[in-house]
Amino acid sequence: MNERSPIHEGHAKAHAEGEPGTAREQDAACTRIVPVVLAGGSGTRLWPMSREHFPKQLIGVVGSDTLLQATVHRLDGFSPEWQVASAPIVVCGEDHRFVIAEQLSACGMEARLVVEPARRDTAPALTLGAALACANGDDAILIVMPSDHAIADVGALQRALECAARHAQRGAIVTLGVPPRSPETGFGYIRIGEAIADGAHRIDGFVEKPAPEIAAQYVAHGGYWWNSGIFVMRASVWLDALRALQPDMHAACFAAFVDGEHDGAVFRPALEAFKGTPADSIDYAVMERLSGSNGWTPEGVVVALDAGWTDLGSWDAVWAAMEKDEAGNVGRGRVVFEGALATYAHSDGRLVACVGTSNLVVVETADAVLVADRSKVQDVKALVARIKADRAPEADSHRKVRRPWGFYDSIDRGERFQVKRIVVTPGARLSLQLHHHRAEHWTVVRGTALVTRGEESFLLTENESTYIPLGVRHRLENPGKVPLEIIEVQSGAYLGEDDIVRIDDTYGRCG
């Protein structure tokens, strides 16, 4: 159903009439906090674990939880002085929403999902989250967190966020800055200004990722902090600031929200309106413009974050964030070191043995192995671009691919054939579909399958099989109480996943 944007009436009127300042007139005693988790990234620097269709926020890089799961629980036990919403807002893309919902459910978290119909960077994503946070008429304080960071000391993070929330109450837009531990060139920096209450500082400026010699000067100077990408502000303050500084972005996001669709806990912005918004980051769109010289703008404030923060943007950052042995090695999975130094090794299954290695990264998955010098891990992004240019499937997906109905594992493939192991969860079903270029043979290994083929429907049990000719409508369902496992053999001239014409789908993927 389409619903008019439920942003509270006074703020909506200010948007319509162009009257700045409404955010400053809101109740400064607001203590309601809504976490907004930005989970729309598709980083490739942690390849081969991170892929285009399964990015790093969905994998467990530094612990048993995925980065997303760790992020949504960072406000657990927050000070009772603040009313933290039990359901965070998670902004994500269509490709990842089913896996995100599954992971949140697995860790006992209910969330409201904003599913972006196109990638437009973090500023439009936050704008949609802010609009949804105002949906019940409140003007909550937003704590905006990327979903791909590691935090060693969650208590210290919460204390910094409390300080930031107090400044956000009075109308400031606050970011957390990390006092640098080393001259990192992979992070942006914040130039801190004069000190204000609670040890916070006014923001004096932002600096892009610097050259090594400049980064060393920043660390020696002491007046520059790493930009964590964590923000705290009132929802109305962000919306008013965006309208003042980026009117085109504001108008497009507002239109996308007004004409968007609510489906339970999922909100979908209007596609055409959202496609019209300029793509920009929170920093570029607003934070770097909080100078007061562009009409009405709120105050920009930075609060120190000393909590073992790490932006896991490379394998070297993962190595730095983890506990090491006496020789500086980090091993995950089936890993053995012999005479190795400062080596990171990860195994998804096979035994990885590192003998005499030094400053290396070795990552093994079911379909790819990465070996890299730790000083060159930033080049992994360029490597993935080359793999993608060669149209190799390892750039986009893992061998095992999750779907809303279960998963499939591509066991083998060759010219004109592919073999998959398909597992369907109880009660789930695939879309009603057909293929123009391939036929399929299904053999049930475990469970019971309900098969639709053309105009007929029938049951298959263990050790029974069927054939789906090219161009015939078909569907696979699991009517039982145990997982359905089948082996699928595809044959044909083209076996790509884009040769699927969906006619009906429980999960809304026909478009």
Q: Which of 306, 333, 349 is the last residue of a domain?
A: 306
Residue 511: its pLDDT value, please?
Answer: 61
**CA atoms of 118 and 49, how far apart (whole Å):** 24
Name the one residue in this structure whose structure tokens are 């209450």.
197
Residue 180 domain-assigned? Answer: yes
- Taking CA atoms, 163 is separated from 254, 287, 305, 370, in Å, by 30, 19, 10, 42
- 382, 286: one domain: no
Q: Would you state the pLDDT for residue 440?
A: 97
Cβ–Cβ under 8 Å, residues 318 and 46? yes
Instruction: Give the residue carrying structure tokens 């999902």.
Output: 113
Residue 295 lies in a domain: yes
Q: Using DSSP, state whether 297 is helix, strand or coil.
A: coil
Runs of H (alpha helix) within 191-300: 212-221, 235-245, 247-258, 271-275, 282-285
Q: Are 145 and 190 contained in the same domain?
A: yes
- How far out from the chain centre does Cα 486 lie? 31
For residues 278 and 164, state if they share a domain.
yes
* DSSP characters over 64-80: SS-HHHHHHTTTTT--T
Judge if 351 and 483 occupy the same domain. no
- pLDDT for 391: 87
- Beta bridge partners, 172, equal none
DSSP string, 318-354: HHHHS---TTS-EEESSEEEES-BS-EEEESSS-EEE
Burial of 500 (0-12, 13-18, 19+ CB in 10 A): middle
Concatenating the DSSP letter of every residue in 368-432 gives: -EEEEEGGGGGGHHHHHHHHHHTT-GGGT--SEEEETTEEEEEEEEETTEEEEEEEE-TT-BPPE
Helix, strand, or coil here: 73? coil
CB-CB neighbours of 139 under 10 Å: 23
Q: Are 336 and 353 in contact (CB under 8 A)?
A: yes
In a domain, 3, yes or no: no
Which of 388, 416, 449 is at the close of a domain?
Answer: 388
Domain that holds residue 292: 35-306
Q: Are residues 293 and 158 in the same domain?
A: yes
Does 362 share its domain with 455?
no
CATH number at residue 497: 2.60.120.10
Q: Could you tell me if 175 and 265 lie in one domain?
A: yes
Contact in structure between 273 and 118 (CB atoms under 8 Å)? no
In a domain, 5, yes or no: no
Same domain, 359 and 478: no
367 and 443 belong to one structural domain? no
Position 438 in a domain: yes
Structural domains of the chain, count: 3
Rounded CA gap, 440 and 462, in Å? 18
Handedness of CA 150, 151, 157, 160 (dihedral sign): negative
**Domain match, 66 and 117 both:** yes
User: Cis (ω within 30 of 0) for the bond into 124?
Assistant: no
Strand 266-268 relative to strand 141-146, pairing: unpaired
Mark whether 48 and 72 lie in a shared domain: yes
Do residues 3 and 231 make contact, with C-beta atoms less than 8 angstroms apart?
Answer: no
Residue 52's domain is classified under what CATH number?
Answer: 3.90.550.10
Residue 313: in which H helix or E strand, if any?
none
Task: For the beta carbon of residue 275, count every other beta carbon within 10 angstroms.
Answer: 13
8-state DSSP, 22: G
Q: Is residue 475 part of a domain?
A: yes
- Same domain, residue pair 296 and 339: no
Say how far apart CA 13 and CA 20 lie, in whole Å: 10
Please identify which residue in the block is written with the tokens 């040890």: 199
Contact status, residue 380 vs residue 44, Cβ threshold 8 Å: yes
H-helix or E-strand spanning residue 195 = strand 189-195
Could you read off the pLDDT tens digit of each residue along the chain, which spans 511 residues? 333 334 444 344 434 444 333 444 455 668 899 999 999 877 688 999 999 888 999 998 888 899 999 999 999 999 999 999 989 999 999 888 889 999 999 989 989 999 999 899 999 999 999 999 987 777 899 999 999 999 999 999 999 999 999 999 999 999 999 999 888 888 889 999 999 988 899 999 998 888 889 999 999 998 999 999 999 999 999 999 999 999 999 999 999 999 999 988 999 999 999 999 999 999 999 998 885 444 457 899 999 999 999 988 899 999 999 999 999 999 999 999 999 999 999 999 999 999 999 999 999 999 999 999 999 998 999 999 999 999 888 988 899 988 999 999 999 999 999 999 999 999 999 999 999 999 999 999 999 999 999 999 999 999 999 999 999 999 999 999 999 999 999 999 999 888 999 999 998 887 6
